[in-house]
Amino acid sequence: MPQGLPTGALEDALLMRAPFWVLVFPLVGFIVLALFGDAMKREGKSNWGGYIASAMALASFACAALSVSRLMTLLPGEQGLRFAQPYLGFEWIDVADFRVPLNLLVDPLSAVMILVVTGIGSLIHIYSIGYMHEDEDRVRFFSYLNLFLFFMLVLVLGGSLPLMFVGWEGVGLCSYLLIGFWYKKQSASDAGKKAFVVNRIGDAGLILGMVMAFTWFGTLDLVELAENAGSKPAEGWLVFGPLTLVALALFVGACGKSAQIPLHVWLPDAMEGPTPVSALIHAATMVTAGVYMVCRLAPIYSQSETAMAVVAGLGCATAVIAATIALVQTDIKKVLAYSTVSQLGYMFLAAGVGAFGVAIFHLVTHAFFKALLFLGSGSVIHAMHHEQDMRKMGGLRKHIPWTHWTFAIGTAAIAGVPFLSGFYSKDAILAAAHHHHHTLLFGLGLATALMTAFYMSRLYFLTFWGEFRGGHEAEHHLHESPWSMVGVLVVLAVGAIFGGYIPIPAIVAPVFRLPIVEEAHDLLVPVLATSAGLLGIAAAWYAYVKQPDLPAKVAASARGLQRVLEAKWGFDLAFDWFSSKVVVAGSDSLLWKRVDAGLIDGAVNGAGSVVDAISRGARGFQTGLVRGYALVIFGGAVLLLSYLLWI
Amino acid sequence: MGASNYLLSLLLLLPLVGAIVIALSPRANVGLQKTLGMAFSLAAFAVSLLLVSGFQPIAEMQFVERYEWIPAYGISFHLGIDGISLWLVILTTFLTPIALLGSWSSIADRVKEFNVFMLLLEVGMLGVFFALDLFVFYIFWEAMLIPMYFLIGIWGHGRRIYAAVKFFLYTMAGSVLMLVAFLVLYKETGAVGFGLAELLQRPVEPGLQFWLFLAFALAFAIKVPMFPFHTWLPDAHVEAPTAGSVILAGVLLKMGGYGFLRLAMPLFPQAAMEMAPWIALLAVIGIVYGALVSLVQPDMKKLVAYSSVSHLGFVMLGVAAFSTTSVTGAVYQMLNHGISTGALFLMVGMLYDRRHTRDIAEFGGLKTVMPWFSALFLMVGLSSIAVPGFNGFVGEFLILVGSWRAFPGYVIVASLGVILAAAYMLWMIQRVLYGEVTNPKNEKLADLTPRELVVLLPLLFLAVYMGIFSPQFTRTIEPSVAALVRDVRAAGAPVHNAAALPAPAPAR
């Protein structure tokens, strides 16, 4: 970026170039695989797809690590934000005062994000080599995976909102392609379409947010927005001042991408995609984009009490409601999906109470343990020959020990067992809610923690403990996954254990440009949080290992609640009804058949008939009788004459 | 630069001469006729590129030519282009050979006449974009109708006669009013002639402006087409041969927006500013209505036709909002629509060539049998629904950003179009490409031929190129637009300040 660098901008030769290479590798991988995928398939070299894509992901990770380590060495010891804005040298859009240069933003926040994306992304690429090795179309799969990586990196590195939006819609597109990867399945292509359309609802909000932000702040550059955030009032028309309107419109986008109520309906369906996709896109990276955006715009959000209340409130509501739905799911991936929705709500809860750094902290630890859990479930599904119903599992710990142990670690981490990663980030969120005296949010957060521990332990016990319920034939085929998959599980398990020791909130704090609040440490929150977690685990153990017939009894006694939860609180029903009965049926029978064909075209054709009828009538005058003509001529002459005389 | 003084005449003459040569060629030699049509249209394209290289990014008319024609009435053959028309000219010369190559094998009957009409159509379209004299404009405007009428009427499908007549009468109804308005204008301004520059010097009194603007606006609104004057479009598209649809959607629909910008708004600035909120209202209704009706179409061509109503609603919203950003976006979006929708019609035509149906329900699972077609179809669809990275997004976003100050409520409603576009496009793509191959007739469909690839790749390349390097186009568009916006706003709002346009009940 030329002319007048903003405060804190670094001019470092390496940081001006290396971030672009982070983007280039996965893009090249996509192009190569897209163009030569057919040839590879023909030559029987489909395995190359996985190798090439993984190599590109790793190369991208290396460049990311290089950039981040460079940035870290340049960070000053004291407080203060340092960042680099590599500029590609030309504008993407440049009309009148609306200008979008192609520039990136490398600061502590995007540094954390690119490490998560490329790091976990690389692991999942490697895992997929094993997971997808029997799929004929795996080259196509890996090309999409590389393309996703590219767009996700554009999203977190883009230096302005429009560039972020390029990544934003790009990852949505890849998500669409990967959910519908097995396109011959109706349910898969349905789910892909639903994901894209629901996301577009959010995107429309995001577009409006950008339009308003540009109108009122005169810029969409992320650094300039952060600097100018205070220039517009948060309140105006009632509580809706420019700042608040921008924040709320953008938050609609965040709700779409990060699956917050009521736009969460696409994420559980997205489990139609191959499991590595669920791990990478629908747990660790893409769905956290909304959290990233809200935190990225913390200088704006933090100045609008209304927007913060909405973010925290909706996040909390999503956390609770999704957790209740997860309690009754029987599909192993659906439990994880609702769990993801719930955990994303947790992150918004953190952001909404002003703990942006903690939100990112939970984003990172969640990326580790949820990727681990999804890949672990993939390993289970792999062993079970694509069976996902937990009621047909059980006792798997003897057959797939590595998967079992790593999965146990992931479960413990998400449940908040002390000294694992989830414990630290979750504790920090609850502490933030507590310190800001949001008693209700704190209470609901605690309840969610309890439910989370319960449903995750339920999943774990149903899958790995007790007796195998899938029949002898299936039991005979149970097998541990290949080393490429198990190895990845082990690496992620290490991350799930130790991820909590990375001081993420301190690293990213300068980005938010907020005064640092000294946090008072009391024992109340960790004790309550730990008790909730352990209680949930114990209850699940009692209900699913000790007394396995208890859940049925409980369900029988609370039939109504059971039904509500199994119907997922009716959100999907409402969406389906609205789209098919109102939008499609209304467009068809009312707009198209009545208004378009009936009214408008009817009027047009009617006008045609009138002309036609007049012509037919006029034809009657041409009788060929000279006397008749003479009469008309005479009459006309009289009329004309009288007219002329009269005026 | 002697030759550049005659570039526009040369561009009109090349296809005209081509049409004459083909008309004189032996009827039996179909190959020669096709080759000649292609050669002349390519030559015109090559010559038009000289316009780009010689064009200065300034507001003034360039490559101006002027010949006295009927001096008694002050009519002269006055040609020129500026930033608004430059790229529309290129779009025309670019799409004509593409459309010819696209129907290389599907038009087997009366090949000679087909090529003649296509080239004559090109002459008409270029003439409209070049004309700086209202009389000349009108001549080309009407001349353009005739070849299109025959293209639909002769090479069209089942209800071609109905569609052709409907197309013709609809457009004629509008243009007759425009002709009357021309004559009134000629009288009112003291019969200085029909030269645009002269007429702009003599503004009409506001009361009359209103009626004249209305007459112009109706003619152009039918052409766009704006809701509720759009019902000729689905019929015309469905019945037209592929090449006709491509040109119709690609270029002819741009004439309306162009007419607003070139004639209606600068000639009647006060009326234009007064009526802008109503135009914006119809535009926004068109965006949502077109998308909703598109959603439920069983016929692929109709679906694309209604989607055009929606897309051109965006264009007209940008025109009505009348800021430099929104109008530049509107002009850019006209180009984008020409490319994406042109490609969509070509691809639907390729399916029609194979299966002789465009019924969505007849297809399904094509991704298995036609992987390359499917990949390209998806990309073209994405460019049409304005996914960033493709051209459509830049235009749409510029329109929305530039329209907010004038019509915030409408911009919010327009954003519904963004959602609905994804719904109708992806639903069609799902039903055509995904799933199992259920219809045995689809099992042996051939993937794209090399000829078809040659037709599609340039369009796809442009869709991506224009999505990433938009300033290479907008920098030449913007100066002319900025001057136009400045002049019209200055002349149009003597009482209040121009920024505060009255809006009819903002639909929040």
Question: Measured between alpha carbons, how far is A304 from A249 in angstroms, rounded to an integer?
Answer: 13
pLDDT at position A1: 40
The pLDDT > 70 percentage for chain A reads 94
Question: Is residue B3 packed enough to be buried (19+ CB in 10 Å), middle (13-18) or exposed (0-12)?
Answer: exposed
* pLDDT of residue B504 exceeding 60: no
Taking residues A300-324, report their average pLDDT: 93
The pLDDT > 90 percentage for chain A reads 48
With an 8 Å Cβ cutoff, are B296 and A584 in contact?
yes
SS3 state at A184: coil
Question: Measured between alpha carbons, how far is A372 from B304 in angstroms, rounded to an integer?
Answer: 44
With an 8 Å Cβ cutoff, are A211 and B401 in contact?
yes
Taking residues A210-238, report their average pLDDT: 84
* pLDDT of residue A383 exceeding 60: yes
Give the closest residue to A106 by CA, choosing from A74, A146, A59, A62: A74
Which of B434, B470, B472, B474 to mutate to probe the A interface, most A CBs <10 Å? B434
- Which residues are paired to A91 by β-bridges? A101
Q: Is the Cβ of B504 closer than 8 Å to some Cβ of chain A? A: no
pLDDT at position A646: 65
* pLDDT of residue A180 exceeding 70: yes
Question: Measured between alpha carbons, how far is B321 from B224 in angstroms, rounded to an integer?
Answer: 17
Taking residues B320-335, report their average pLDDT: 95
* Minimum distance, in Å, between the CA of residue A613 and any CA atom of chain B: 16
The pLDDT > 90 percentage for chain B reads 64
CB B437, CB B364: distance < 8 Å: yes
Residue in B368, B401, B474 closest to A94 by CB: B474
pLDDT in tens, A562-587: 888 888 888 888 888 888 888 888 88
pLDDT at position A221: 92
What are the structure tokens assigned to A448, written together? 């969610």
Which residue type, as a one-letter code, is found at position B22? I
Question: Measured between alpha carbons, how far is B486 from B323 in angstroms, rounded to an integer?
Answer: 9
What are the structure tokens assigned to A18, written together? 């290396």
**Residues on chain B touching A161 (C-beta within 8 angstroms):** none
Q: What is the mean pLDDT of chain A?
A: 87
pLDDT at position B131: 94
* Minimum distance, in Å, between the CA of residue B336 and any CA atom of chain A: 15
Where does the pLDDT of residue B499 fall: very low under 50, low under 70, confident under 90, or very high at 90 and above?
very low
Distances (CA, A) of A354 to A294, A299, A312: 11, 10, 9
Where does the pLDDT of residue A4 fall: very low under 50, low under 70, confident under 90, or very high at 90 and above?
low
Longest alpha-carbon distance in chain B:
70
Which of B419, B428, B448 to mutate to probe the A interface, most A CBs <10 Å? B419
pLDDT at position B409: 93
H and E: helices and strands count for chain A: 28, 4
Of the given ranges (A139-148, A483-492, B284-293, B436-445), which has the lowest mean pLDDT? B436-445
CB proximity under 8 Å: B 426-445 to A = 426-427, 430, 433-436
Distances (CA, A) of A76 to A8, A157, A223, A224, A567: 10, 22, 19, 22, 53
Pairing of strands B75-81, B62-70: antiparallel
Give the closest residue to A461 by CA, choosing from A544, A373, A338, A555: A544
pLDDT in tens, A117-167: 999 999 999 999 988 888 888 899 999 999 999 999 999 999 999 999 999
Q: Read out DSSP for A411-452?
A: HHHHHT-TTSHHHHHHHHHHHHHHHTT-HHHHHHHHHHHHHH
* Cα dihedral sign, B421-B427-B428-B430: positive
Of the given ranges (A92-106, B235-249, B481-495), which has the lowest mean pLDDT? B481-495
Pairing of strands A83-84, A87-95: unpaired
Give the closest residue to A135 by CA, choosing from A57, A55, A52, A47: A47
* pLDDT of residue B206 exceeding 60: yes
Which has the higher per-residue pLDDT, A73 or A491?
A491
**Residues on chain A touching B330 (C-beta within 8 angstroms):** none
pLDDT at position B110: 87
With an 8 Å Cβ cutoff, are A95 and B398 in contact?
yes
> Given its phi and psi angles, is residue B435 left (phi above 0), alpha (psi -120 to 50 degrees) or beta?
left
With an 8 Å Cβ cutoff, are B388 and A169 in contact?
yes
Which residue type, as a one-letter code, is found at position B83? G
pLDDT at position A475: 79
Q: What is the mean pLDDT of chain B?
A: 89
* pLDDT of residue B505 exceeding 50: no
* pLDDT of residue A361 exceeding 70: yes
**Residues on chain B touching A592 (C-beta within 8 angstroms):** 293, 296-297
pLDDT at position B74: 82
Taking residues A348-358, report their average pLDDT: 92
Output helix, strand, coil percentages for chain A, rounded to the nearest 5: 75, 5, 20
With an 8 Å Cβ cutoff, are A169 and B411 in contact?
no
Taking residues A396-409, report their average pLDDT: 90
Where does the pLDDT of residue B77 fall: very low under 50, low under 70, confident under 90, or very high at 90 and above?
very high
pLDDT in tens, B378-411: 999 999 999 999 999 999 999 999 999 999 999 9
Which of A30, A95, A99 to mutate to probe the B interface, most B CBs <10 Å? A95
Residues 6 or more apart in contact with residue B409 via CB below 8 angstroms: B503, B506, B507, B508
Exposure string over A375-400, b if 16+ CB within 10 A, otherwise e:
bbbbbbbbbbeeebebeebbbbbebb
Where does the pLDDT of residue B351 fall: very low under 50, low under 70, confident under 90, or very high at 90 and above?
very high
Where does the pLDDT of residue A645 fall: very low under 50, low under 70, confident under 90, or very high at 90 and above?
low
With an 8 Å Cβ cutoff, are B397 and A93 in contact?
yes
**Residues on chain B touching A184 (C-beta within 8 angstroms):** 365, 368, 434-436
Which of B282, B289, B296 to mutate to probe the A interface, most A CBs <10 Å? B296
pLDDT at position B500: 44
Question: Measured between alpha carbons, how far is A646 from B300 in angstroms, rounded to an integer?
Answer: 62
* pLDDT of residue A349 exceeding 90: yes
* pLDDT of residue A634 exceeding 80: no
Of the given ranges (A190-204, A537-551, B188-202), which has the lowest mean pLDDT? B188-202
pLDDT at position B503: 44
With an 8 Å Cβ cutoff, are A208 and B469 in contact?
no
Which has the higher per-residue pLDDT, B203 or B376?
B376
Residues 6 or more apart in contact with residue B233 via CB below 8 angstroms: B225, B253, B305, B308, B309
- Which residues are paired to A98 by β-bridges? A95
pLDDT at position B506: 42
Q: Read out DSSP for B482-507?
A: HHHHHHHHHHH-SSS-TT----SS--
Cis previous bond, A276, omega within 30: no
Where does the pLDDT of residue A623 fall: very low under 50, low under 70, confident under 90, or very high at 90 and above?
low
Residues 6 or more apart in contact with residue B88 via CB below 8 angstroms: B129, B251, B254, B258, B331, B334, B335
Question: Measured between alpha carbons, how far is B296 from A18 in angstroms, rounded to an integer?
Answer: 48
Which residue type, as a one-letter code, is found at position A249? A
CB A194, CB A256: distance < 8 Å: no
Cis previous bond, B228, omega within 30: yes
* Minimum distance, in Å, between the CA of residue B469 and any CA atom of chain A: 6
With an 8 Å Cβ cutoff, are A596 and B231 in contact?
yes
**Residues on chain A touching B397 (C-beta within 8 angstroms):** 93, 162, 207, 210
* pLDDT of residue A77 exceeding 70: no
Q: Output DSSP code: residue B49.
A: H
